[in-house]
Structure 1
Amino acid sequence: MSVSLFELFKIGIGPSSSHTVGPMWAARRYLDRLDGKGIKAAVARIEVRLYASLALTGMGHATDKAIMLGLAGLRPDTLDPDDAEDLYGFIRDRGELQLDRGRRIAFRMDRELLMLKRERLPHHPNGIRFTAFDEAGTEIDTADYYSVGGGFVLSAEEAGDRTPVLKNARAPFEFKSADALLEICDREKLSIAAVVLANEETWRSPAEVRSQILAIRDAMLDSIERGCRMDGILPGGLKVRRRAKQLRSELLKRPESALRDPLTTLDWVNLYALAVNEENAAGGRVVTAPTNGAAGVIPAVLAYYERFVHGASDDGVVTFLATTSAIGALYKQNASISAAEMGCQGEVGVACSMAAAGLAAVLGGKPRQVENAAEIAMEHNLGLTCDPIGGLVQIPCIERNTMGAVKAINAARLALKGDGTHFVSLDNVIETMRQTGEDMSEKYKETALGGLAANVTLC
């Protein structure tokens, strides 16, 4: 297990983990680099070059905003979205920023932020190059970073040797495949969640692990609640109207309809996912789960568990999120959770697979049934493209999260009807997803050059 639960689930801002959260962390890492070399005080200007996918859809994903706020010293896990918007407007309009809340330097979008749509750095489509200059205009430092999905950021050196984001050498239960994970469960007589928790407790006390997992749950539910309160038009120019508030109002007005239509439950699941992803599209606070573009799937299924499953509890929440993280770690290590590499199968598809496993676990599934649920969910997301209209995380992204949540619930229920025996393994389907992503045309991988993005006329 080379990826921690707390790396997969990170509190940040929308609209994208790879194009917003990751670039902001990359800017933070570059500031730390300058500080570590003792040259930050000499910096008079920083030029930022965005490559390939970041350049093609960065403006629609608020990458420019993320870079500016990151260089100004803000962090995605602690900033206030409303304050951040004000600061971004100030920097954009004044053409300068307060570097890491210190000295002021020039930062003009047409000079210091360059979009290189036809160029690509060697290790990943989401490449960023920071170059610092002194007062005389002399280059004093340069460094490359890669936003590899889910808010994860690698330096050029880390990306080159594929160093794991988190080394778990001392964890009691190492696993890099689903088969290895199931072998541990069989040998130790443990659930998948128990394996994950034992590993997490290598670095934190059991009480800390539990409290931090429940804090992630609280942040997920907060994003649902805020999304249900807000209305109006989403930013970006597509004039997409938020629907969650109206949908909740309609459901609350007609509670008796649930007695006539058992599928009303799915209306609530749709609502939960819509609310999160509308909040994400508006730049609000969400949890990468495992990415921002797919941020609504796991919270929607988790809310379904808490609000519709008899006997739901905080213990179940811990089991749910621990189980989902094990599945997410397998995708992160053996394929990718970046739409720029895999298409949307790597985002909504992975979130669907994770959520299906988590739900199967809290509904009483054994490890092999849980693994089967994860496999079913991904098997029927293979080949899913990422083709956001206008480069915005809105159409089809918001509704796609509702589909992922409902599909996850169905995958869990299907798996629980069996004994865990199945023809295609989770390891098989993860490898298939990786191969499919590599074969997929670049225009279907978060570039807005193909699919719906190319065939829907913008007015």
Structure 2
Amino acid sequence: MTAFVSALDLFSIGIGPSSSHTVGPMRAARAFAERLGADGLLEGVTRITCSLYGSLGATGLGHGTPDAVVAGLAGLKPDECDPADVRGAWSRLGADGDEVRIAGRQPVTMTQADISLEPRTRLPGHPNALTFQAWGEADALPIAEETYYSIGGGFIRRDGDAPEQSEVRRHPLPYSNAAELLALCDEHGVSFCDVARSNEVAMHGEQGIDAGLDAIWAAMSECVQHGLATEGTLPGGLGVKRRAPEVRRRLEEYDRERSADPSSLRDTSTEWLHAFALAVNEENASGGRVVTAPTNGAAGIIPAVGHYYQRFVPGADAAGIGRYLLTAAAIASLVKKNASISGAEGGCQAEVGSACAMAAGGLCAVLGGTPRQIENAAEIAMEHHLGLTCDPVAGLVQVPCIERNAIASSTAVSAARLALHGDGTHVVSLDTVIETMRQTGLDMMTKYKETSEGGLAVNVIEC
């Protein structure tokens, strides 16, 4: 089975703060509401309940999962809705309830109690599970019940459906691991992005993929600019102050001073890289518009390194951004198929580690790296995130997530630069490090996988 996943699916435009806890549950809720309509059951529904299991139950409140469920049931889509319409959707229900129009049509009174948190119950399909039940006026049993899994990156799977499979027949250059991807590059004399583009064109056409990539980069850029300009304190009660605007002001001042004094040796490129990442993840933490890359918790790395390329690499252009994103998607496909991009499944190594590998490989590509140097860059980046836990304080995508994106952006640039100094020959292959990440995720204790039951999540409170 081919590993390839389209960049238009991996980089999905949505809302914060979490792809698995906000975007995925919203899509699942909308899918359930649409199935009620398709099955002719919607008009008979008088009540809907939802149970959030495992990681969704443990950190759902901090990640805005109940809000996302209510918004999805009402028919909202994460890529089209106003983020303000999602924030507070559940808390506005109150104890007495309020009307929610299921699928935008059927009026149903919902209360906050209709969405329950079940953190100690973990379903076998995935740590992020949610079950919907629709009830009629006098029915002792639900008239419809479905369970969905939010499997990372905003992707969902309905219980009972076969695991997602890429359409091999539509991929002229299929591959299932990095070794096969490198072999394709050798056989056709191309790079990672060319393989990805061939598959994308078969799926979306030339104009479709170009327009899609342009929209993705435009959304990433808008997120960076909004984050660099927006002051304030992030929601959630931790009192985390937005830092990106102040960092931007200082860097602009440093750059002006350097322009006035050409003898100044200060290089602000790494600090700008950090500012770009902070901007995106502060936007994400506020529930703003972000692009999943490959998750929301790691959404700052790809845009930050891309902006670094645009601003500090001579000759950078829009075509380079396209190659950067396609290379990153080719690498993400490998991780998604052969390990995981879900923090609830693999810890933060699966989120930030994956994004770092994607950005490292993508940057290496636009800096002129060979396929083996690109593979090496991605391997270096992933290797040095092995074992990274996901322990968000108070269940919020703020501490340590925001700073972690900034540091991982630096690691991605360092990995790309380091790989370019070699010829692509290295001891540990990308396939090996991805398999090691998968095994490490299996061995990792549940309390370190997006449950806020271990690590910083408990020690910060205790201190």
Whether the TM-score (by the shorter chain) exceeds 0.5 is: yes
Deviations 1:48-85 (A, max 9, x none): 00001000000000001100100011000001112333
DSSP 3-state at the match of 2:255: coil
Question: Which residue does the alignment assign to 2:115?
Answer: 113
Q: Distance in 1 between matches of 2:282 and 2:21?
A: 17
Question: Which residue does the alignment assign to 2:187?
Answer: 187
Q: Distance in 1 between matches of 2:85 and 2:250?
A: 32
DSSP 3-state at the match of 1:49: strand
Deviations 1:228-273 (A, max 9, x none): 1111110111011111111111111221455634441111000000
Question: Which residue does the alignment assign to 1:347?
Answer: 351
DSSP 3-state at the match of 1:446: coil
Moved more, 86-95 or 172-181: 86-95
Q: Distance in 2 between matches of 1:49 and 1:218?
A: 36
Moved more, 200-209 or 322-331: 200-209
Aligned length: 455
Q: Residue 218 of structure 1: CA displacement?
A: 0.7
Question: Which residue does the alignment assign to 1:385?
Answer: 389
Q: Distance in 2 between matches of 1:329 and 1:320?
A: 14
DSSP 3-state at the match of 1:106: strand
Amino acid of the structure 2 residue aligned with 1:142? E
Deviations 1:179-229 (A, max 9, x none): 000000100111110110100111222122112101101100100011111
Moved more, 99-108 or 308-317: 99-108
Query: What pairs with 1:28-47 in structure 2 (closer than 5 Å)?
Result: 28-47=30-49
Moved more, 392-401 or 31-40: 31-40
Q: Residue 92 of structure 1: CA displacement?
A: 4.6
Residue 419 (1) aligns with residue 420 (2):
no
Question: Which residue does the alignment assign to 2:215?
Answer: 215
Residue 147 (1) aligns with residue 124 (2):
no
2:64 and 2:87 in contact (8 A); partners too: no
TM-score (norm 1): 0.96
DSSP 3-state at the match of 1:201: helix
Amino acid of the structure 2 residue aligned with 1:271? A
Cα distance 1:454–1:301, how it changes in 2: closer, same or farther (>3 A)? same
Q: Residue 89 of structure 1: CA displacement?
A: 5.5
Q: Distance in 2 between matches of 1:352 and 1:104?
A: 45
2:93 and 2:112 in contact (8 A); partners too: no
Q: Which runs of 5+ in 1 are unaligned?
A: none
DSSP 3-state at the match of 1:47: strand
TM-score (norm 2): 0.96
Q: Distance in 1 between matches of 2:72 and 2:253?
A: 44
DSSP 3-state at the match of 1:205: helix
Moved more, 45-54 or 202-211: 202-211
1:68 and 1:91 in contact (8 A); partners too: no
2:364 and 2:373 in contact (8 A); partners too: yes
Question: Which residue does the alignment assign to 1:284?
Answer: 288
1:11 and 1:287 in contact (8 A); partners too: yes
Question: Which residue does the alignment assign to 1:368?
Answer: 372
Question: Which residue does the alignment assign to 1:248?
Answer: 248
2:66 and 2:90 in contact (8 A); partners too: no
Question: Which residue does the alignment assign to 2:198?
Answer: 198
Question: Which residue does the alignment assign to 1:397?
Answer: 401
Q: Distance in 2 between matches of 1:219 and 1:455?
A: 36
Question: Which residue does the alignment assign to 2:51?
Answer: 49
Question: Which residue does the alignment assign to 1:329?
Answer: 333
Q: Residue 87 of structure 1: CA displacement?
A: 5.1
Q: Residue 121 of structure 1: CA displacement?
A: 1.2
Q: Residue 102 of structure 1: CA displacement?
A: 1.2
Q: Residue 104 of structure 1: CA displacement?
A: 1.6
After TM superposition, where is structure 1 displaced by more than 4 Å over at least 4 residues in a row? Answer: 86-90, 256-259
CA-atom RMSD in angstroms: 1.5
